[in-house]
Structure 1
């Protein structure tokens, strides 16, 4: 998992400012730790969207408990524990959903799947393709390079001549747009499939 001693150090003065509700100091703390947390989360979940959500959840928890920060002796250890627990919980959830998806579709060859599960799979693939095609050009390219061709965000950024943060933002918006499209155009069973699909990719 994460090694806490690999995380950078946040100054005690910054902790005091955050504890007092200073949003600029909180942003500074976010900038210090966010990329490292994202990288570890992505290593385990393989999902940019989930990794972003984990980063946000970690810092929401820190902000809600900001009054306790001055009493923390090692901020790196503190963030390490929050991030570790959040990632472990997410992996447990994904495991449950993955097992359900296997049960739903079965792991039999295509020709042996039930007509119902075959229909859900076909409809889901069609909807996902339509959702991708509805994306703005830049988001579509970033999504295809990262999610379909398997390029890392840094490689996508290099290929497109963009910053890594810009690529990450495009990908995050693309995933959000795809989810919104699917919710608007899917029935309940197909929605369940695509939610699990995106959780596992």
Structure 2
């Protein structure tokens, strides 16, 4: 049965990748999840027969991609909370006024909301550049996109965040 799995997987590999890419929007992640799909199918075949291997592969790939997105969403939420907590601690140590703290918190919330509105790829590119210090070339390779796409995504994030802060300042 592993030979059948190999054949079916190779026949449908591109379609599987496309299915996963539509969900995760990251080429490397899609590749990893497709490989994980194959391994899961292989492990399942060791314990039981799979009646419809093709359907099993596509459903497993979709489920893995959705699970990945859910975990990423939770991870981003916690990373944002940690960043806010660190900022609050820094404010407390800086001796700023309560009003300054409130204004800073409002700005932080406006930025978080602005970032949440953007597509995952743009947020990821911005995070990798601004927080991880990665180059556009590294980000492009990681995301499986052109360097100019990374530039445009980061430019879009920066503009969106500036607009959000400008709206806050007007109010």
Tell me the TM-score normalised to structure 2 length. Answer: 0.50
- Alpha-carbon separation, structure 2, partners of 1:82 and 1:97: 22
1:128 aligns with 2:134: yes
For 1:77, the equivalent position in structure 2 comes to: 55
The aligned length equals: 116
Q: Which runs of 5+ in 2 are unaligned?
A: 85-104, 112-126, 154-171
- Alpha-carbon separation, structure 2, partners of 1:109 and 1:35: 44
For 1:61, the equivalent position in structure 2 comes to: 40
In the TM superposition, residue 41 of structure 1 has moved relative to its aligned partner by: 1.2
For 1:182, the equivalent position in structure 2 comes to: none
2:33–2:64 contact (8 Å) kept in structure 1: yes
- Alpha-carbon separation, structure 2, partners of 1:30 and 1:145: 33
In the TM superposition, residue 57 of structure 1 has moved relative to its aligned partner by: 0.1
Q: Greater share of helix residues, 1 or 2? A: 2
Which of 10, 15, 21 is the matching residue for 1:42? 21
Q: Deviations over 1:78-133 (max 9, x none)?
A: 223312321221121011012123223458547x99xxxxxxx7984572128739
Q: How does 1:141-152 map to 2 (within 5 A)?
A: 143-145=146-148, 147-149=150-152
For the structure 1 residues 84 and 132, does the alpha-carbon distance in structure 2 shift closer, same or farther, using more than 3 Å as the test? closer
Aligned to 1:73, what secondary structure does the other structure show? coil
For 1:156, the equivalent position in structure 2 comes to: none
* Larger Rg, first or second structure (1 or 2): 2
1:98 aligns with 2:76: yes
For the structure 1 residues 127 and 92, does the alpha-carbon distance in structure 2 shift closer, same or farther, using more than 3 Å as the test? same
For the structure 1 residues 80 and 126, does the alpha-carbon distance in structure 2 shift closer, same or farther, using more than 3 Å as the test? closer
Q: Deviations over 1:4-29 (max 9, x none)?
A: xxxxxxxxxxxx4x2xxx4xx55432
Tell me the TM-score normalised to structure 1 length. Answer: 0.44
- Alpha-carbon separation, structure 2, partners of 1:75 and 1:47: 25
In the TM superposition, residue 76 of structure 1 has moved relative to its aligned partner by: 2.5
Q: Which runs of 5+ in 1 are unaligned?
A: 1-15, 114-120, 151-201
- Alpha-carbon separation, structure 2, partners of 1:109 and 1:76: 49
